[in-house]
């Protein structure tokens, strides 16, 4: 994986995905390991973030490197300066770029012109680092990934897309339940089905939440209106009526099912408070695992050492 870009979870093969998770587990156990001493990661953000910014910053610190955070006003991607120029300039200063952008096209342009690895830290199409953390969390709690059934209830957004694609690479059974018009895209669905078929899993797009959750090992949801969709919040709240993950819906999953959410959460909307704050919830394990998964990605992309 050395010196490659990670713009979509599909940039990884099934074997490479498993390798990332193995390294993440090893680095989590190790704590601090100076694999990236003297290396610098630039965080180029068009959107604010709690978990993404802190997890990348601390991950680099644990690996012996450092981060430079570049806020929206400092860079002005596509406004003050083109992504191509930003990429070419930063490539002269830093060893890698993690970009949190409004569009996948911006991330692709950064990668096209950068001579250092570019990591998609979130775009409107995908959130590969979140998917890696999700898969690490599921593997830790369920002992493996192959054959595990995940029910994603809600908007077929970037989080759902990367989870479906990563689940396909891992041989999982991924079910996504969304209202009409809010499903994952046809392109993501086709890719997820192809990956699932190649690795012994399945992908199913549904409309009825209960059908998706029945017998599931994992129940996952996300906000109904993501950042940048605030003007749609009222319409989305109406469209997603009946998609709240509450105790009644959770009861249709396996008794030992876990609940997941990438945060931030709106209690009382997409999830009931007694579910996200209840004993089946692993949302803060997920949040922590963002750091460990990203440590693995950074180490595999940038370290000169052989990782075990």
Give a three-class secondary structure readout of 240-267: CCCCCECHHHHCCCCCCCEEEECCCCCE
Structure tokens at 30: 């190790």
Exposure on the CB side of residue 223, measured as CA atoms within 13 A: 14
> What was the pLDDT predicted at 308?
67
Of 51, 62, 11, the C-alpha closest to 299 is: 62
Burial 67-98 (b: 16+ CB within 10 A, else e): beebebeebebbeeebbeebbeebbeebbbbb
User: What are the strands of the beta sheet with 40-45, ordered from one edge?
Assistant: 66-70, 40-45, 96-100, 118-122
Q: Which pLDDT value is given to residue 264?
A: 96
Measured in degrees and rounded to the nearest 5, phi and psi for residue 177 equal: -110, 115
For the chain, counts of helices (H) and of strands (E):
13, 9
Q: Is the pTM of this model over 0.95?
A: yes
Predicted local confidence at residue 115, as pLDDT: 98
Tokens at 9, concatenated: 């979870």
Cβ atoms of residues 172 and 198 within 8 Å: no
Angle between helices 51-62 and 283-302 (to 10 degrees): 50
Count of beta carbons in the 10 Å neighbourhood of residue 262 = 25
Quote the pLDDT of residue 282: 98
Tokens of 12: 């990884």
Report, at the CATH architecture level, how domain 9-127+289-302 is classified: 3-Layer(aba) Sandwich (3.40)
Tens-digit pLDDT profile for the chain (308 aa)?
899 999 999 999 999 999 999 999 999 999 999 999 999 999 999 998 999 999 999 999 999 999 999 998 888 887 889 999 999 999 999 999 999 999 999 999 999 999 999 999 999 999 999 999 999 999 999 999 999 999 999 999 999 999 999 999 999 999 999 999 999 999 999 999 999 999 999 999 999 999 999 999 999 999 998 767 777 888 999 999 999 999 999 999 999 999 999 999 999 999 999 999 999 999 999 999 999 999 999 999 999 998 86
Beta-carbon-side half-sphere exposure of residue 252 (alpha carbons within 13 Å): 15
CA 45 centroid distance within chain: 16
User: Rounded to whole angstroms, how far apart are CA atoms 27 and 158?
Assistant: 27
- pLDDT computed for residue 79 by the predictor: 85
pLDDT of residue 306: 84
Residues in the chain: 308
Burial 215-246 (b: 16+ CB within 10 A, else e): ebbbbbbbbbbbeeeeeeeeebeebbeebbbe
Comma-separated ranges of CATH 3.40.50.1370 domains in the chain:
9-127+289-302, 130-287
What pLDDT score does 73 carry? 87
168 close to 190: Cβ distance less than 8 angstroms: no
CA–CA gap between residue 299 and residue 176 (Å, rounded): 32
Write down the CATH number for the domain with range 130-287. Answer: 3.40.50.1370
- Tracing tokens 């018009």 back to the chain, one arrives at 181
Specify the DSSP class assigned to residue 280.
T
Q: What is the pLDDT of residue 229?
A: 72
């Amino acid at each position: 994986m050395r010196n490659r870009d990670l713009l979509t979870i599909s940039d990884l093969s099934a074997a490479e995905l498993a390798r990332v998770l193995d390294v993440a587990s090893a680095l989590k156990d190790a704590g601090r390991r100076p694999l990236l001493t003297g290396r610098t990661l630039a965080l180029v953000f068009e959107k604010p973030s709690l978990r993404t910014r802190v997890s990348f910053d601390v991950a680099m610190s644990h690996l012996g490197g450092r981060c430079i955070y570049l806020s929206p006003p400092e860079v002005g991607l596509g406004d003050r300066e083109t992504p191509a120029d930003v990429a070419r300039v930063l490539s002269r200063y830093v060893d890698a770029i993690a970009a949190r952008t409004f569009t996948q096209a911006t991330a692709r342009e950064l990668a096209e012109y950068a001579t250092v690895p570019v990591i998609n830290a979130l775009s409107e199409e995908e959130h590969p680092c979140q998917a890696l953390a999700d898969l690490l969390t599921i593997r830790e709690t369920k002992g493996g990934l192959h054959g595990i059934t995940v029910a994603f209830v809600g908007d077929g957004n970037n989080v759902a897309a990367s989870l479906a694609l990563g689940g396909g690479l891992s041989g999982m059974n991924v079910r996504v339940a969304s209202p009409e018009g809010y499903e994952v895209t046809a392109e993501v669905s086709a890719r997820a089905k192809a990956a699932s078929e190649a690795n012994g899993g399945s992908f199913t797009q549904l409309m009825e939440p209960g059908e998706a959750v029945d017998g599931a090992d994992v129940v996952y949801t996300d906000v109904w209106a993501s950042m940048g969709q605030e003007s749609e919040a009222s319409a989305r709240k109406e469209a997603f009526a009946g998609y709240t993950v509450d105790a009644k819906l959770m009861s249709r999953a396996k008794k030992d099912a876990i609940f997941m959410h990438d945060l931030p959460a709106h209690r009382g909307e997409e999830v009931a408070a007694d579910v996200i704050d209840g004993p089946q919830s692993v949302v803060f394990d997920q949040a922590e695992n963002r750091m460990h998964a990203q440590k693995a990605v950074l180490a595999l992309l940038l370290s000169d050492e052989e990782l075990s």
